[in-house]
Chain A
């Protein structure tokens, strides 16, 4: 690998800052709002410290059976994002509730997000979910906002997500779009995650192990993408990296650079 000349590195750094300013990312950094860390070194490294609050993120289940896993990841993020007194607004459509079940308060409480801090809004049309999310983001009254989009949700395109991203930028709320299906549409979200359920490691007596998730970071505006295997400890509200022998090999290599240089 050729060492990058010192002058070029400085230019590159300046250009990156310019791009960041144009894209409007750095507001959160300037204000000094704490980043939302996942507590797993590999992920936080890829995210350059953690997820930005005051920005939009997308989560989708890898397959239909992973709906619960995706819900769990969104809930876990909301549980970690909320400041002590901040509330979480969860927006569901009637159809989503019928398809994969309505959010269950006692379950959420056990998973780590106190039901005291949970507000659930059910709307009839998916478009209403986007409207409600935008209004909630503008009000700046909430810690995090999760909106579920059932089906393909073709209306949640680049324009619609851009609106949400702009609305999110003004406040401190952490915004999550929870799609029910992986979408090929472009999105203005900071990060996009595909979540799959992972078989947990049963305990010594054959019972269930900790909730295990496979997180594929498929879009990351601030760094490399990758796939990470984590377990969620609902008592500590903390993720921990899973070090499975087989799984380690399956982790995607984040960097694209070496291949380009070879060519």
Chain B
């Protein structure tokens, strides 16, 4: 299971790097979504895949009765997903605004803030 997950993380990262190298910023955003999910899976995998019961402690007991799953990486991943989603939403809107105000989706053509030497401002 671990190796399967590790492989799929690898595929995700490879795909996203390919997408992020594209000059089209929309592709970059899609790459970003994939790679942030790869990072989330990395955390999940780093916490070890323990096939155990949910980490719940019975009422009155001090410790769980049997082997339970590690709850911490799940909490971390959950936080990271929420943050990642917020950032993705922002980035998507930003790219849309960039398209409407700058008229292009290609990063090479976005030269308003850093005009070339011979461009007239």
A binds B: no
Q: Which positions in A face B, CB cutoff 8 Å? A: none
Identify the B interface with A (CB < 8 A).
Answer: none
